[in-house]
Amino acid sequence: METHRIIVETLARSESQKERSILPKIELEAQTQEPQHLTYWINDQDNLVNIPIIPSTLNYLIIRATYTQDDTQAGIQAGDLAPFHVRVDGDTQDRARKGLYVLTGDVTSLEVGTPVTNGKVELKVLMG
């Protein structure tokens, strides 16, 4: 068993480059029995990719999506956050996201897709 701690801090930067917190820091601690680190490379032709979920052990889910190659015409560099969409628990509606998705609580199914046509998007999925 592992203990995972997720910390979210929302900062604003003024014109003088001074950072300030605009929301109190949020911390979530979860006991995880079977943490999973999954990686997928997808594009628009893959349609929806099913991400396997073990519902009884899931406390949180984090998805990070990044471009895998440069696209100078679009001003994109490899590693930039990429658009993707998710469907949770059999939903038929796409939930559009850019780069990051965090979900806590019960999830029984997850499907992920992307509108990216040029190259692939790397999805890093962490479940604990």
Q: Provide the residue ranges of all domains of the chain, joining segments of one domain with +.
A: 32-127
- pTM across the whole model: 0.86
Locate 52 and state its tokens.
């396997």
Residues of the chain with pLDDT under 70: none
Fold of 32-127: Jelly Rolls (2.60.120)
Contact partners, residue 59, CB within 8 Å, separation at least 6: 4, 30, 31, 32, 104, 128
SS3 of 65, please?
strand
SS3 of 113, please?
strand
Q: Give the pLDDT of residue 34.
A: 80
Q: Give the pLDDT of residue 87.
A: 96
Q: Give the pLDDT of residue 59.
A: 87
Q: Give the pLDDT of residue 121.
A: 96
Q: Give the pLDDT of residue 33.
A: 82
